[in-house]
Chain A
């Protein structure tokens, strides 16, 4: 952070709570810890600044697809959002000033990549080995997120491509795309924001599409100075907007539950938008999804379809299958000469890299514990065999229909309940049983079975391909997550002290 003071030379190496990750989860938890008066914690961050996804994703056009008045902390609302869907940089700034103004800088350790976190059974604490030295904590919070580690498809010839090649989450701003022939791989949430921007400057643009996304109209608008002054003068105006957005999001869950009338309404909205923006029958057919709406993330954009209709933009309706020199070749055998290739191909989601680095009882990693059965956690937060470990924004938290910040805040409340109980009850080991973890996982499977995620005829990043479970997903109303998973119940956790 440019404004940050010098890092204290004596960062405490042994604390109550070690938080790994300084994105929305880690910063949110840090703020709530500070506000509650807790000081014995550190936040380890592998990069050089806070911000998580909003630090890493700097591609042209980056923005959140949840409106900013909802995609922000309820305990730190912001009257000054510039528009309904604020640009990514503004969200990053929001997190940076939150960290600074809430007094988190003394708790943050940057460039501290967690190489291994090991539960020490004798001392009953976590030992965290990082690129900035070792830390110990009674409690470990993995606020490591799940859209953090870029994923490239295994395309032969990728390593030998002579032009610019990068992932959407690692944009190389030193490589100008002006006047270039550019290939964009993918048509997901990042791609549809990137494509209209690249189309403005590239000479030619080819988009590799495995399956077409549903795209809704984006009800975006700038907030005027008058709007913002009202938000400052009367914060209840912000609350009302936040509420409206939240409950509308939960309304759209009815379509995810495959209710015919609501599915039809959702299809009409997205396909009506496509029909209104694309006149050409052939192009419209190519841009029409072949699976049920909601199976993959429903996107929103007013610029994507018009960009695809431009004469210098080509839509290739097949995956990129190989690269030969500077030619990008699709699974249909079509070949395109390109100067640059952008991979908007998403992130590791079902086999989280961080899960290989956290070792619980008996030295078993989270990844080993879960095995091919896939990720799960009691209340989406605690795992058997991993005492005093809490996962934020991990398995069973992802949503297609509402704001992740709501889920994160719910988990922060669960954690704080646990932490307060731990402090006032002799600091015992907090661990859930295999039975509790398993029962919770099966219950989520049961609910997911009634949703479009499993019945929509698509493969999405919510699914673990090894077992077909929607391990990343919370397959219910967002509000029900808070109703059911917010409260810490000491009886579920084994207290051994």
Chain B
């Protein structure tokens, strides 16, 4: 484990950051350190095109006000075959947990592709994970998802960066969220869309995700969070996970796929409460939406 200063660590308010050797590669991590009795550390896994700083700049520091938070930046080998699935990422996450939180069982929370990775870790390493949160995840890539994915890859291949970014923003954010932005905020949002090689590799990986065999073997209490307006991993996908994972409860946030940007405070609420009392809602429960 190497502890290094990292510009994102300040942004995230992380107490420590550095790299761990995990599954043969260097994995960047962030750790808030401070523990809260009664709540296990939460380990966050970002989604496609993300890093901790890109996807969890709200969740990391704000979850850390109520429990220890660790997050990893997945290391992408763009030369590996994309159809190998999320196993390499899952190995990185498992090794990082063993290294950073030795002899601990954690609350593992993944967003989007990170949810696929987290579910894989939970199924294979029950010794590390005793609570699982899947935000905007999916069970098995559908024809509709593959079509959307193909448009993205076509735009990427033809170098149409601006169109690619606008298309991605259109897919990722809900219509009401986009509609409440000012022109400048909208432009900034579009400008922030990632389309580097790692993202492309992840998009290719997303085409063949299939957790149908894996998900039913997940034993720990699981919270599934779907976005009502998610166009990338439609909420039926979260419902499919809800059906597949034995000890799962399900809830929705009024959001597009980008729930970490659209409803981050509500996610802090859901994750913190689930982490403190995972059995407050029994397995099989559809947790009603929360009228403020």
A residues sitting closer than 8 Å to B (CB atoms) are 70, 74, 239-240, 242-244, 246-247, 250-251, 253-254, 257, 259-262, 403, 406, 447, 450, 476-480, 483
Least CB separation from A406: chain B residue: B292
Return A410 CB to nearest CB of chain B, in Å: 10
Tell whether A243 pairs with B62 under 8 Å between CB atoms, given A261-B11, A479-B269, A483-B269. no
Interfacial chain A residues near B272, Cβ < 8 Å: 483
B residues sitting closer than 8 Å to A (CB atoms) are 10-11, 13, 57-58, 61-62, 65-66, 176, 180, 254, 263-266, 268-269, 272-273, 289-292
Bound together, the chains give a CA A376 to CA B19 distance in angstroms of 44
Return B83 CB to nearest CB of chain A, in Å: 37
Bound together, the chains give a CA A239 to CA B228 distance in angstroms of 14
Bound together, the chains give a CA A406 to CA B268 distance in angstroms of 18
Return B278 CB to nearest CB of chain A, in Å: 15
Interfacial chain A residues near B61, Cβ < 8 Å: 254, 257, 259
- Would A450 and B65 count as touching, CB distance under 8 A? yes
Return A417 CB to nearest CB of chain B, in Å: 17
Interfacial chain B residues near A403, Cβ < 8 Å: 292
Return B187 CB to nearest CB of chain A, in Å: 14
Interfacial chain B residues near A253, Cβ < 8 Å: 62, 265
- Would A483 and B273 count as touching, CB distance under 8 A? yes
Interfacial chain A residues near B57, Cβ < 8 Å: 261
Interfacial chain A residues near B291, Cβ < 8 Å: 74, 239, 242-243
- Would B292 and A240 count as touching, CB distance under 8 A? no
Closest 5 CB pairs of A and B: A250-B265, A246-B292, A479-B269, A251-B265, A247-B266
Return B172 CB to nearest CB of chain A, in Å: 17
Return B171 CB to nearest CB of chain A, in Å: 20
Bound together, the chains give a CA A243 to CA B180 distance in angstroms of 14
Return A32 CB to nearest CB of chain B, in Å: 15
8 contacting pairs across A/B (C-beta < 8 A): A243-B254, A243-B291, A247-B266, A254-B58, A259-B61, A260-B10, A262-B58, A479-B266
- Would B254 and A244 count as touching, CB distance under 8 A? yes
Tell whether A257 pairs with B62 under 8 Å between CB atoms, given A240-B254, A244-B176. yes
Interfacial chain B residues near A74, Cβ < 8 Å: 291-292
Interfacial chain A residues near B263, Cβ < 8 Å: 247
- Would B265 and A247 count as touching, CB distance under 8 A? yes
**How many inter-chain contacts with C-beta < 8 Å in the A-B complex?**
64
- Would B65 and A251 count as touching, CB distance under 8 A? no
- Would A257 and B266 count as touching, CB distance under 8 A? no
Bound together, the chains give a CA A74 to CA B66 distance in angstroms of 27
Return B10 CB to nearest CB of chain A, in Å: 7
Return B200 CB to nearest CB of chain A, in Å: 27
Interfacial chain A residues near B62, Cβ < 8 Å: 253-254, 257, 259, 477
Tell whether A70 pairs with B268 under 8 Å between CB atoms, given A257-B62, A260-B11. no
Least CB separation from B263: chain A residue: A247
Least CB separation from B262: chain A residue: A247
Return B64 CB to nearest CB of chain A, in Å: 10
- Would B58 and A251 count as touching, CB distance under 8 A? yes
Interfacial chain B residues near A244, Cβ < 8 Å: 176, 180, 254
Least CB separation from A74: chain B residue: B291
Least CB separation from B291: chain A residue: A74
Bound together, the chains give a CA A239 to CA B292 distance in angstroms of 9
Least CB separation from B61: chain A residue: A259
- Would B264 and A70 count as touching, CB distance under 8 A? no
Return A250 CB to nearest CB of chain B, in Å: 4
Interfacial chain B residues near A70, Cβ < 8 Å: 292
Bound together, the chains give a CA A480 to CA B269 distance in angstroms of 7
Tell whether A479 pairs with B292 under 8 Å between CB atoms, given A244-B176, A253-B265, A260-B11. yes
Return A88 CB to nearest CB of chain B, in Å: 22
- Would B269 and A477 count as touching, CB distance under 8 A? yes
- Would B265 and A479 count as touching, CB distance under 8 A? yes
Least CB separation from B57: chain A residue: A261
Least CB separation from A240: chain B residue: B254
Given A243-B292, A262-B58, A480-B269: 19 more A-B contacts, CB < 8 Å: A239-B291, A240-B176, A242-B292, A243-B254, A243-B289, A246-B292, A247-B263, A247-B265, A250-B266, A250-B269, A254-B61, A259-B61, A261-B11, A450-B65, A476-B65, A477-B269, A478-B292, A483-B272, A483-B273
Least CB separation from B261: chain A residue: A251
Interfacial chain A residues near B176, Cβ < 8 Å: 240, 244
Q: Which of A246, A261, A478, A483 has the most CB of B within 10 A?
A: A261
- Would B13 and A477 count as touching, CB distance under 8 A? no
Bound together, the chains give a CA A257 to CA B62 distance in angstroms of 8
Return A412 CB to nearest CB of chain B, in Å: 14
Interfacial chain A residues near B254, Cβ < 8 Å: 240, 243-244
Return B176 CB to nearest CB of chain A, in Å: 7
Least CB separation from B11: chain A residue: A261
Bound together, the chains give a CA A464 to CA B149 distance in angstroms of 57
Interfacial chain B residues near A406, Cβ < 8 Å: 292
Interfacial chain A residues near B66, Cβ < 8 Å: 480
Interfacial chain A residues near B13, Cβ < 8 Å: 259
